[in-house]
Amino acid sequence: MGLLIKGAKVIDVKQNISDYLDVFVKKGKIVDIKKSISAPKTTKVLEAKGKILTAGLIDMHTHLREPGREDEETFFTASKAALKGGFTSLVAMANTEPPADNQGVIEFVYSESKKQSPVNIFCIGAVTMSLKGENLADLADLKGAGAVAFSDDGHCIKDSHIARRAFEYAKMLNRVIISHCEDTDLSAGACVNECWTSTKLGFRGIPAQSESIMVARDIQLAKLTGARVHFAHVSCRESVDLIREAKKEKIAVTCETCPHYFTFSDEVVNTFNTNFKVKPPLRSLQDIKAIKRGLADGTIDCIVTDHAPHTEAEKDVEFEYAPFGMIGLQTALGISIRELVKTKVLTLEDLIKKFTVAPAIILNLKKGSLEIGSDADITIFEPETKWTFTKKDIESKSKNSPFIGEELIGRVSEVIIGGKLFLKRGQIRSYHLPA
Amino acid sequence: MNNWKKKDLLGLEDLTAEEIKLILDTSSVFKEISTRPIKKVPTLRGQTVVSLFFEISTRTRTSFELAAKRLSADVVSIASDSSSTLKGETLKDTARNIEAMKVDAIIVRHSCVGAPHILAKLIEPSVINAGDGAHEHPTQALLDLFTIREKKGRIKGLKVSIIGDIAHSRVARSDIWGLKKMGAEVTVCGPRTLMPPFIENFGVKKTNVLDEALRDADVLIFLRMQLERQTSNLFPSLREYRATFGVDKEKLKIAGKDVLIMHPGPINRGIELSPDIADGKYSVILDQVTNGIAVRMAVLYLLLGREG
Amino acid sequence: MELKDIRVIMDHLAIDRALKRISHEILERNKDTHDLVIIGIRNKGAYLACRLASYIKQIEKSKLPVGILDITLYRDDLTAISRQPIMRKTEINFSIDDKKIVVVDDVLFTGRTIRCAMDALVDFGRPRNIQLAILIDRGHRELPIRADYVGKNVPTSLKEIIEVKLTEVDSIDQVIVGENKGDE
């Protein structure tokens, strides 16, 4: 039967394509991309004039809360948010309850997510048992069950000896370790960046060095072991500088940042809005500049959401008691275009690379491009549309977004996964998933 | 005209110099009432004030209670260990429940920064911050300003030094806001480990040399050295603190003529300041306590009597 | 507050005569002055109280203690607080126990101000008696309060406003009646 998408500007970074082309999809795969495709009359045609068409976006850092915290989010609700945000693949972190430190949980994530979500969901395995940083998990088993990477995200592996052994082991299994860098002695008891705002408000602050000290350590360990290390949620200029130098030395490190680290500075905490409470914390204006420079010069490989749902009851408490984290699947593209493309920090092509090719390479996923024969995971969006994100728009079960009320630029219009259309004109189409 | 418009008193950061002056002027009137045989006026008769203290406090709580009672308001005090928060009730629910009892003002002390601010937006009764974490303690700063003005006749141009654990002190922060707005010259002094970063952004001088803070000072505000800090490696020992930052008669000699000795209480005798200074002729520590009631009466009067 | 249709009902000579007459009446009724005190209600009452005390001093050669009472805190209408001029101190630097007090105010209208004044005085001590001297009585009492000494009785309608101007604040001694311009 097939689906023909006409009139869009196709951007595919892997193939160096940025042009007005038609795209033909059949049996779940990309069959052809060229100017003016003529297709048999039985083909469905999707008009995409004025829109951008790219490979489906990949978010390689999300917390989907299943198993254990289905009150915060489920694969079903997360997938709805992902569709509206233009994401066709999500990578789920291991700090669930119970954590993904054994085969059983990983198999559960894969089988359960397939029942609830049309969006591809990949699972990350824990590095250590219960994420305690003490004993390595059965990493080979986790790989066998489908873990695409290992991470104790949410926690930092404090013991350098254990971190070293974990890196060596992961290298043996050809899997990247995603490192959450936090010196917990420096960050203990604190919940905001150490800055004028924290001094003024009487908060204990988390200095940037809490992150950069661990980044430095892990770079040295990556050098020592030859392992591939990916730094999660980079937030400060010290980390960006260290990673830039490490890459110059050809140490196998990569890293990511999140939209909030190039949008909000630490002063927003003056409002006591707990949706701004996140770890690592929002940093200073100079750090925002450094993050943007890091994105522009390639030091920062990809952009992720670190989607972290928390229920309203959990967040609606005193600032110091609220859990850390914000949701971000629906707003990532819109805020990134506003803060990076409109300000000429990145071209649209570069931005799309951060959401497609880059995460795919790091995790070795066969996604992120529109090469002929690849899975037809496609995101189509209006690059100039201005829209205001409201609480009512939120598909996630949790509503903890600091972007509520923000005007974003760029709106997702259609999402195709495996050749099937799941989002049309910004609305989720009803679908049945195979049992 | 009495121009007080704000529903709440959350901190001195948001007050203008005029608003501070209004509170100080109103406080003078209320000070006189405590000298009468019948220390009561019927002004807030029929109004209900609830004091909600999530942190243990005797003097501030008692001071507020007396202030409300001398205005003939009905007062209920809820202390943390008897409150339902132990049963898991959230702060917001606690406040909403109290609001549902139709009260006119809630006085809140909480260990979390911003707790009174959350309540103020949420409930109709006036919210008075009696201390939120290390953030602000507005009535303490107001009574400090009142005491200084009473003794020195002015605040503008005075050299005021605040000595002690600045990092963890809500009194220091509120004092700094108030003193700067009223035109004083402020120096903060304490060990480097207890001095928060970027403190100069307040417009104050900072030093960890005691003599610099004492020299020619008109007012010295001593902060309580919390003994628990010692165990968290913020400074080695009380002995060392006393030697480097404790003040006695000898060290005081370089201070200004008729320097005022102030302390929010409770004092650690022999640590921040020697007993002979705490009880000496320059000490106005007890005046601070007396003035505290007048200031708190003024605050209750202005908030509950405001237009609209 | 702007007034229209203004009539002058007392000029400075009339005010002067009235106060002198009241001073004599006070002395006549009280026979001796050694337990007598005068307390004026802020703002205008206080100035009138000082004037009465000085006339009494001229007549009897004895100086009566004068106090000033601010009744803002005793009002029965809390919402009126914000519309009041900034509250000033009450200054009564003597004991009122067993004293004969002459309370002084400029205009007696509903009587509520005087009720507040009596409440306040009773909190200060236990006077032997309280007497009331006012410059203008305009009627329309809402409480059972009456003046012992009256400068002038001026029947008024509720629409009208009486204003007592005194040189201590207004540069002129004058009592005027008018209607509120704002009530058109």
- What pLDDT, in 10s, does the model give residues A188-213? 999 999 999 999 999 999 999 999 99
Residue B82: predicted pLDDT? 52
In chain B, which residues have their Cβ closer than 8 Å to the Cβ of C89?
Answer: 28-29, 32
In the prediction, which pLDDT does B17 show? 97
Bridge-based pairing state of the strands A407-417 and A378-388: antiparallel
For the cut 70, the answer to whether the pLDDT of residue C84 exceeds it is no
**Are the CB atoms for A104 and A130 separated by under 8 Å?**
no
**pLDDT above 60 (res C36):** yes
Q: Given the DSSP bridges, would you call strands A192-193 and A205-206 parallel, antiparallel or unpaired?
A: parallel
Report chain A residues whose CB lies below 8 A from the CB of B92. Answer: 316-317
- Per DSSP (E only), the strands in A309-370 are none
The DSSP annotation for A100-166 comes to S-SHHHHHHHHHHHHHH-SSEEEEPBPSBGGG-SSSB--HHHHHHHT-SSEE-TTS----HHHHHHH
Q: Among A13-27, A388-402, B230-244, which is the least confidently predicted range?
A: B230-244
Q: What is the mean pLDDT of residues A365-389?
A: 97
Model confidence over B186-197: pLDDT tens digits?
999 999 999 999
Residue B124 distance to chain C (closest CA, Å): 16
CA–CA separation, A307 and B63 (whole Å): 47
Active site residue A306: yes
* C-alpha–C-alpha distance, residues C67 and C95, integer Å: 10
Closest CA to B132 of B18, B302, B286, B8: B8
- pLDDT for B79 beyond 90: no
- Closest by CA to C97, choosing from C46, C30, C37, is C37
Calculate Rg over the CA atoms of chain C. 16
Interface test with chain A among B89, B111, B112, B201, by most A beta carbons within 10 Å = B112
d(CA A180, nearest CA chain B) in Å: 26
Chain C CB contacts of B41 under 8 Å are 73-74, 120, 123
- pLDDT surpassing 60 at residue A55: yes
A266 vs B: CB within 8 A: no
B229 confidence band (pLDDT: 50, 70, 90): low
Instruction: Determine the pLDDT at residue A173.
Output: 97
What's the CA gap between B293 and B34, in Å, rounded? 9
- What pLDDT band is residue C10 in, cutting at 50, 70 and 90? very high
C183 touches chain B (CB under 8 A): no
Tokens read off for A2: 């097939």
CA B232 – CA B237 distance, rounded (Å): 11
Q: What is the structure's pLDDT at C1?
A: 66
Tell me, what's the pLDDT at A88? Answer: 98
What is the overall mean pLDDT for chain A?
A: 96
Q: Encoding tokens for residue A323?
A: 């859990």
What is the structure's pLDDT at B36?
84
pLDDT for residue C81: 61
Whether pLDDT at C20 is above 90: yes
Span C76-97, average pLDDT: 76
pLDDT band at C86 (very low <50, low <70, confident <90, very high): low
Q: Which of C137, C128, C111 is nearest to C37 (CA)?
A: C128
| pLDDT value of position C78 | 62
C72 to chain B: which residues are within 8 Å by CB? 43
So what's the pLDDT on residue B180?
98
Helices (H), A6-135: 75-85, 103-116
- Please tell me the number of Cα atoms within 13 Å of B190 on its side-chain side: 25
Of A194, A272, A318, the CB nearest to B197: A194
Please indicate if any CB of chain B lies within 8 Å of the CB of A19. Answer: no
Assess whether pLDDT exceeds 90 at residue C33: no
Contact with chain C for residue B81, Cβ under 8 A: no
A–B contact: 3+ Cβ pairs < 8 A: yes
Task: List the single residue in B113, B201, B202 with the smallest CB-CB distance to A319.
Answer: B113
CB contact under 8 A, A203 and B112: no
User: Could you identify the residue written with the tokens 């009566």?
Assistant: C64
Q: Write the pLDDT tens digit of every residue in A65-107.
A: 999 999 999 999 999 999 999 999 999 999 999 999 999 999 9
Q: What residue of B is the nearest CA neighbor of A185?
A: B232
pLDDT of C77 above 80: no
| pLDDT value of residue B1 | 53
Q: β-strand A229-231 against A253-257: which pairing, if any?
A: parallel
Tens-place pLDDT, residues A262-273: 999 999 999 999
Q: Map residue A427 onto helix, strand or coil.
A: strand
Q: Is C44 exposed, middle or buried (0-12, 13-18, 19+ CB in 10 A)?
A: buried
CA atoms within 13 A of residue A73's CA, in its CB half-sphere: 31
Residues of A in contact with B133 (CB under 8 A): 202-203, 320
* Catalytic hit among A22, A152, A218, A306: A306
- B2–C86: do the CB atoms touch at under 8 Å? yes
Concatenate the DSSP letters of all residues of A379-410 into one string: EEEEEEEEEE--GGG--SS----TTTT-EEEE
Q: What is the pLDDT of residues B135-152, one digit of tens each?
A: 999 999 999 999 999 999
pLDDT digits (tens, 9 = 90+) for C111-156: 999 999 999 999 888 999 999 999 999 999 999 999 999 999 999 9
C86 vs B85: CA distance, rounded Å: 41
Rounded mean pLDDT of A405-422? 97
Over chain B, what is the mean pLDDT? 92
Which residues of chain A make contact with B115, given a CB cutoff of 8 A?
318
Say if the Cβ atoms of B201 and A200 lie within 8 Å. yes
Q: Show residues of chain B in contact with A316, CB under 8 Å.
A: 90, 92
- Give me the DSSP letters along B121-160: HH-SSEEEEEEETTTB-HHHHHHHHHHHHHHHS--TT-EE
Neighbours of chain A (3+ CB pairs under 8 A): B
> What integer pLDDT is reported at residue A432 of this predicted model?
81
Beta bridge partners of B132: B110, B136
Backbone angles phi, psi at C17, to 5 degrees: -65, -40
Is C76's pLDDT higher than 90? Answer: no
CA distance C89 to A327: 57
Taking residue C13's Cβ as centre, other Cβ atoms within 10 Å add up to: 9
B173 touches chain A (CB under 8 A): yes
Instruction: Give the pLDDT band of residue B34 (cuts 50, 70, 90).
Output: confident
Contact across the interface for B133 and A194, Cβ inside 8 Å? no
For the sheet with A22-26, list strands across it. Answer: A29-34, A22-26, A3-6, A44-47
Residue C182 has pLDDT above 80, yes or no: no
Contact C22, C52 (CB under 8 A): yes
pLDDT for the residue A42: 83
CB contact under 8 A, A196 and B201: yes
Mean pLDDT of A325-353: 98
Q: Is B170 on the interface with A (CB under 8 A)?
A: yes
Record the pTM. 0.89
From the centroid of its chain, how far is CA B264? 7
Chain B contact for C117 (CB, 8 A cutoff):
no
